[in-house]
Structure 1
Amino acid sequence: MNPGCDHPLPLGEGRGEGRHGVTVLLLALLTLSACGPTQSAPFAPSTRENPVVGGTSAPDDEAVVALLARRARCTGEPLTLLCTGALIAPDVVLTAAHCLDIFGTEGAYEIFLGARLLPEPEPRGHFARVARAVKHPDYDRASHTFDAALLRLARPLDAPPLPLPEPGWGELETGREARVVGFGDTKDASTPSGERRQGTLRVTSVDPGAFHAGPSPAMSCVGDSGGPVLVRGSDGREVLVGITASGDVACRRDAFNVRVDALLESFIAPFLAERLPPTGPVLALETLCTAACTRDDECPSGLACVPVTEGGPGRCLQPALQEGDYGALCTEDAHCEAGSVCARLEPEGEDACRCFTPCGQSQPPAPEEAGGCTGAPGPGALAWLVWAVWLSRRGGAGACAGHRCG
């Protein structure tokens, strides 16, 4: 396991120093072919697919989930594993803030609940859409101080949340063993990728807001970021005491973890206590080319309200698709008319996939007519990169700094 900004971290024997997460993903995106209606290519296994270094399978840790970039197509789109997360309420996931640095808090995400995400095409579990994401207000990219984020899911999950540290649970101190769980890199080419794994660390130092741990013998790695670090309390039950934030690049010596008890009062408790606003009427799927929006909650199925021109009206769309209407149910592109694709509105379910037709076009536009990467109906990793650039201009995205992250 190895914690990082945008790739799965593995549980392993150690870590290395240097930037690893966001930078690797951006390089992978930038090295893809030129803009066009092509789907994204899978990332290299060394940065995307492997789990916890020196760890073992963790099939029973149901509350440990994988964080993914939300898929826009119903067929042919590879899964993009970003980080790990810990379910702390039926509809709330705690993860690392740097996991959201690329696409920002307004990016499109989903989570995976299950023991095996990869290899594709048959993940063994279920998906749920992320409806809202919030970073800790005092998060610092360079130092990973308060490197924490909370995700509100569009629907609650049927899994017992991890217990948070309550008064009297015990004490986090140097020398204690801790268990880390994640979907990250294993540093072992023979170990199946995308599997939820666990391993044992030993606490080496404790500060008011964070703690370090070393291999005993496992280690978190890229992709494990945001995953839980668990310690047995005074009553013998495991307690969520930390989340993986960073470490050395080689995943061999040091794991830096944010303390959960330092997040409880000012960050986690207010978020858990929030009352969700009542849902109002939303725009019809077949009217999105003509109906303007002003807020995300006016858009169906979690589509975002995005200004398509500066100062112009907002349209409900997915980040990897241009403006368009949604029509009949489908399972693949062949079920849709010419110029349409089978687009994914929800991660799963009978009504998740519908035929998407770009506004005012019966055929897919040529790249020069479409305005570059975002114009074609294919989602593609480059379209995600354009989305990230747009978010960065709004102050939503940034690169990880310091040690390994992801």
Structure 2
Amino acid sequence: MFLALWTLSACAPAPSTPLPSTTRTDTVVSGTEAREDAAVVALLARRARCTGEPLTLLCTGSLIAPDVVLTAAHCLEIFGTDGAYEVFLGARLLPEPEPEGRFMRVARAVRHPGYDRTTHAWDAALLRLSKPVDVSPLPLPEPGKTSLEPGQAARVVGFGDTKDASTPAGQRRQGSLVLTEVEAAAFRAGPSPAMSCVGDSGGPVLVRGVEGREVLVGVTASGDVACRTEAFNVRVDALLEDFIHPFLAEPAEPRGPVLPLESLCTAACTSDAQCPAGLACESVAEGGEARCLQPALQEGDYGAVCAEDAQCGAGSVCARLEPEGEDACRCFTPCAQTPPAPLPEEASGCAGTPGTGPWVWGVSAWALLCATRSRRGGPSGGAGALSRRGGARACAGRRGG
């Protein structure tokens, strides 16, 4: 279940063996189905196309407010805090094409300011959803009332690796751990008999409080490469005062007049508040005017509602503004009809993925080409860093869980 970046790990120069042509994601080692844990969600790279784009699982997360998800900071390494994300609420994400659940766009993401990608200290991030969901959040610990000690039983939940090829991939699962070492801001746990693994990063570790109900006490951060002996988790009570509570208390961003979807090529913007839902105000050229666009796409206009590319005119495709809904997909026409500049040859062994037509559809497929699945103790298992546009992209190896 660990590092939700199952295949989206690090980009290594010229791998000695071919990377797999397909992507996969599994679930918890020695665990069982967790269909009742509705507040445990999957974090995905946001889809830009309405047809033909695979689901790209990044991590697991915990709903701690109707519109806030707690996950691991290293889950945002590939696309950054300004990247395009969505979450899945449901028990079964994969295999496609029929996930059992729904999708919600992430409007904002922040990492803990003390996050250390080498040690996984303060490995926590918060995601603000585009709108609240009708799911009961996981209870947070009360300051000073959370007792953690070695030998204590805990439960872990996530969408990660089962180490069992016969177990369906991408399903929410749970398992029992036992705490082995407790520190002020983190704790370690061992199998009892389950273990978190690749894909579970950011997911919850829960213990029963004095009143008998489960409380969210940990965020899965890392562990041994074989998913057999040790899990490293960030303590949630250590995040409350300086990170979680201030974020929960933030007022909603005011929205003013919004630019029309069909005029985005000619209408400049000055802030995200002017952009239609799902778009951000970005300058794509040095010193140039900013435009409302989706981070995975170049600038363009959105037209009629569509379900597939064939319903759009020449030079246009069916693009996804929101993860789901009747108006989620619209015909997208890029402002410029010239192809993006090719990637430099010295891009650390990472090859760009050609876009469909004269614009760049995103970096998720490209990132998969640079993926190296691993955990702490093995090859780098964190993520690279990608630009938000179709120009130069770089990826740097990370360690992760």
TM range, smaller chain: 0.7 to 0.9
CA positional deviation for 1:294: 2.3
- Relative contact order, higher structure (CA 8 A, sep 6+): 1
Matching residue of 1:273: 249
Matching residue of 1:94: 70
Q: TM-score, normalised by structure 1?
A: 0.85
The amino acid across from 2:214 in the alignment is E
Cα 1:117/1:269, change in 2 over 3 Å: same
* Counterpart mapping for 1:161-310 below 5 A: 161-167=137-143, 169-310=145-286
**2:23 corresponds to 1:22:** no
CA positional deviation for 1:278: 1.5
Matching residue of 2:105: 129
Cα 1:312/1:69, change in 2 over 3 Å: same
Distance (whole Å) between structure 2 residues aligned to residue 130 and residue 153 of structure 1: 4
CA positional deviation for 1:348: 0.3
Residue 42 of structure 1 contacts residue 80 of structure 1 at CA under 8 Å; is this kept in 2? Answer: no
Residue 103 of structure 1 contacts residue 397 of structure 1 at CA under 8 Å; is this kept in 2? Answer: no
* Counterpart mapping for 1:26-175 below 5 A: 42-43=22-23, 45=24, 49-167=25-143, 169-175=145-151
Matching residue of 1:390: 387
Secondary structure of the structure 1 residue equivalent to 2:265 = coil
CA positional deviation for 1:379: 3.9
Matching residue of 1:342: 318
Matching residue of 1:376: 359
Matching residue of 1:314: 290
The amino acid across from 2:258 in the alignment is V
CA positional deviation for 1:318: 1.8
The amino acid across from 1:293 in the alignment is C
Distance (whole Å) between structure 2 residues aligned to residue 26 and residue 233 of structure 1: 48
Distance (whole Å) between structure 2 residues aligned to residue 50 and residue 292 of structure 1: 43
Deviations 1:80-111 (A, max 9, x none): 00000000000000000000011000000000
Deviations 1:242-261 (A, max 9, x none): 01000011111100000000
CA positional deviation for 1:384: 6.1
Cα 1:206/1:63, change in 2 over 3 Å: same
Residue 177 of structure 2 contacts residue 195 of structure 2 at CA under 8 Å; is this kept in 1? Answer: yes
Residue 162 of structure 1 contacts residue 239 of structure 1 at CA under 8 Å; is this kept in 2? Answer: yes
Deviations 1:345-394 (A, max 9, x none): 00000110000011154xxx5566999857525446356689943269xx
Distance (whole Å) between structure 1 residues aligned to residue 323 and residue 261 of structure 2: 17
Residue 246 of structure 1 contacts residue 257 of structure 1 at CA under 8 Å; is this kept in 2? Answer: yes
What is the RMSD of the two structures over their aligned residues, measured on CA atoms? Answer: 2.9
Distance (whole Å) between structure 2 residues aligned to residue 380 and residue 398 of structure 1: 11
Residue 101 of structure 1 contacts residue 398 of structure 1 at CA under 8 Å; is this kept in 2? Answer: no
CA positional deviation for 1:320: 2.4
The amino acid across from 1:248 in the alignment is D
Query: Aligned pairs, how many?
Result: 373
Secondary structure of the structure 2 residue equivalent to 1:22 = coil
Q: TM-score, normalised by structure 2?
A: 0.86
Residue 189 of structure 2 contacts residue 231 of structure 2 at CA under 8 Å; is this kept in 1? Answer: yes
Distance (whole Å) between structure 2 residues aligned to residue 179 and residue 342 of structure 1: 42
Structure 1 unaligned spans of 5+? 9-20, 34-40
CA positional deviation for 1:399: 5.3
Distance (whole Å) between structure 2 residues aligned to residue 74 and residue 65 of structure 1: 22
Larger helix share, 1 or 2? 1
**2:3 corresponds to 1:4:** yes
Superposition misfits of 4+ residues, deviation over 3 angstroms: 24-28, 167-170, 365-375, 377-388, 396-402
CA positional deviation for 1:125: 0.3
